[in-house]
Each structure stands twice: as structure tokens, then as C-alpha cells.
Chain A
Amino acid sequence: MASLKDLRNRIASVKATQKITKAMQMVAAAKLRRAQLAAEAARPYAERMERVLANLGANLKNSPDAPLLLTGTGSDKRHLLVVATAERGLCGGFNGSIVRLARLHADKLIAEGKEVQFLCVGKKGAELLRRNYGGLIREKIEFPANQTPSFASADGVATKVLELYKAGEFDVATLFFSRFRSVISQTPTAQQIVPAEVPEPVEGADAPDGALYEYEPSEEEILDELLPKNVAIQIFKGLLENAASEQGARMSAMDNATRNAGEMIKKLTLTYNRTRQAQITKELIEIISGAEAL
């Protein structure tokens, strides 16, 4: 059995760990709030963008001049999977579940005889994917940890994706991220970003009495600028959801860890006290039997 001194050391070390996990939980809670605010602030732009896109896209979907980003390349042989994960671990199953979904997706595509490439956003995803798909990772993008994603960083990812698309490197791009539902529930999600999915226009909402829209420059040119921006916005939205999910996941993981540490301390303290008592009893017996022997 462990000696009293060993037990004392164990208890002290578990207590120190508990302090750390507790602090991490509180930091995650504060960051979660910030991430949620950022996600909320970004919502209006995405909503308006969707409305405009629905308007324009519906008119042009079948026109021969429609940009490639809207119509697609006409094939779906080569896929690009954009996997957005966190820069750091210690956040429960957050990174694992996103990567698992991406892996399922990739395996299905490969089984169908399609080509798959990865673009990893965030360090952890690349680390997890490297083992199985090392050769398929086209590009890794890392952001400084500890920051709510800015639009500029999302724009950087979008530029990369669009460059590859323009160069004809892939036909379909899918973004993998975790949708934030609540602190205890985040759902890994796959969303197609290229070619753009045009939302259905709301009937009669934007064109009362059939007033005709005027476009300056032409509809095609506006759409040409709008679609790349839309890709950036979708990625930005994904990254923000991801940031909130990551902090949520970390918060509950650290809460669990703190609770586990508490239980461990309780158990260890019990053993410590038992051992102490046993030793006292033993010493007493030794003294008494020594005195009796005289």
C-alpha cells in the first residue's frame, strides 16, 4: 500500500490539476461569449447576401453566361474537402468529430471512384488527417490560436479555394465545420460551398408589382463579384460557428475534468485517512502489547 507521504503528494498534485482545469473552463466560458457575439454580428451580412444572391441567381441559373462558380464545371469527379478545426486540443471530441465526418465523406467518395483532396484549416485537423490521407492534403492554413476569426482570415481561405477552382483543380468543394447548438451540443456539419447553392427566392418579397430591377454593371458582372464574396462569407460563417463550438466543447470537457478531479481527491483523502488511522491503531497495539509483555 502507498505510504502516507505518497498519498499526500498525489492529493496535492490532483488539486493542482483541478485548479488548472477550472481556470481553463472559466476562460473558455468568457471566450465562448465573445465568439457567440461575433457569430451574431456576422449574421445580418450573410442574410442580406443570401437575399441578393437568391434574387440574382434565380434569374441567371439557366443563362449560358452564368459564371462557373454558379453552374459548376459540369462534372463531380474531383472533390476538395475543406476541413476547419481548432488550433489547440483539450476540447473534448470537438476536433475528432469534425475529422470523423470528413473521413466518412472522403471514404465514401473514394469508394465511388472519385478523387479527393484536403485543405486543412487549423492545426489539429491536419494532424489527425495526416496519418490516413497524408498525400492528399493540398494545403494547410493555420491561424494564430486564441483569436476570434476575422473576415480577413476567412477571405484568405476563400482566395486559396477560388484559386484552385480557377486552375481547374477540383469540381466540388465541401466545408466541414461544427455547428454550435449549445454548450453541450455541437453538430459536425458538411456544407457545399462550390459551386454555390443558390437559396430559393422568397416569392413576391422583393419584387412587388413586378418592378424591374436595374443592374449596374450587368447582372453577370455583379454576380461575378458576388459569388466569390459569398464563398468567403460561407467560410467566415463556418469559422465563427467553429470558434463558438470549440469554446463550448472545451468548456464542457473542462467541467468534466474538474468534476473528475474532485471525485479523485475525495477518494484519495478517504484512503489517506484510513491509512493514517490504521497506522495509529498499529502503533497503539505495538505499545500495549509491549507493556503487557513486561
Chain B
Amino acid sequence: MDSFPFELVSPEKLLVSEEVQHVVVPGSEGEFGVMAHHAPFMTTLKPGVVKVYKTEGGEPEKLFVKGGFADVNAKGLTILADEATPLAEMGVDRIDELIKDAEEDLEDASTDDDKLKAELRLVRLRETKAVYF
């Protein structure tokens, strides 16, 4: 299977930059997989886990992202994450903190739009916690 260049950057550093086979990304409209020769595509991300398959059928490398953007083009996949941490290094207290932030945002939200956004984020964070922690 063809591989393609994949980059994961957070504002503070470049976390991953390598050739990979398959990446699963938590897009805001649903998870999606990217393989080589994917059509140009751009989306926002929701909080969740990015799974990076370096080899076919191998164990994926998992990274938590708090949100951000994914950009697929002819040069490969680039994820601009607001905050990204390898799942193994991520403590339960950090995700609890994020859940608490989201809860507070939900309380503070004044418009319906903000409320909806905060709620979606909260649900996603809880799901992520349930599955991975």
C-alpha cells in the first residue's frame, strides 16, 4: 500500500512528521480515515484521538488532540492541533480538567450557538474519557 507524508503540529511544536499508511482523524462532522491519494479536503476537528498507522495492520500510535484543523492535499495530511499529546503521556487529570472547562463554558454560554458548541465538546470529551482512560 502507498504511504503518504503526515504532519501533526501544535502551536508549541512539531509532534509528528513522517511517512504513514493510514490516519484516522476525529473530524467535527465525524471520524474519517485518510490514506494515500485522498481527495483535497479540509475540516475542523473535535476533541478526540488521532490514530496513526505507520504500517499496514500494525498497532496505531494514538495522540489526543483538543481540536484544530486537518488539511488533506496532494502533499499529504497536515493536522493543526490546538493541543496535542501522545495518549500514553496524557494523564486522567488533564482530561478531567478539560471536561471541567467545557462544563464551565456550557454554563457561561450566552447564545444558543455557543451552548451547542460547548455541549458537543463536553459530550466528545466524556466519550473520549470513557473509551481511552
Contact = CB atoms under 8 A, between A and B. Distances in A.
A and B form one complex: yes
Given A41-B12, A151-B11, A215 B43 contact: yes
B13 to A, nearest CB: 4
Given A214-B39, A215-B42, A225-B44, A42 B73 contact: no
Contact residues of B: prevailing secondary structure? strand
A212 B7 contact: no
A182 B27 CA distance: 42
A262 B19 CA distance: 56
A263 interface: no
B40 A48 contact: no
B119 interface: no
A267 B9 CA distance: 56
B11 A236 contact: yes
Contacts of B3: none
A49 interface: yes
B85 interface: no
A38 B13 CA distance: 8
A216 B41 contact: yes
A169 to B, nearest CB: 18
A209 to B, nearest CB: 9
Given A48-B78, A52-B71, A214 B9 contact: no
- Most chain A CB within 10 A, of B9, B17, B29, B39, is at B9
A211 B10 CA distance: 27
Chain B residues touching A, range = 20 to 34
Nearest to B11: A151
Contact of A216 (B43, B74, B75): B43
Interface residues of A, number: 32
Nearest to A208: B74
Interface in A36-54: 38, 41-42, 44-45, 48-49, 51-52
A44 B40 contact: no
B78 to A, nearest CB: 5
Contact of A222 (B11, B17, B39, B44): B44
A229 interface: yes
B80 A52 contact: yes
Interface of A: 38, 41-42, 44-45, 48-49, 51-52, 55-56, 150-151, 154, 206-208, 211-217, 221-222, 225-226, 229, 232-233, 236
6 contacts: A42-B11, A45-B12, A45-B80, A48-B80, A207-B74, A232-B11
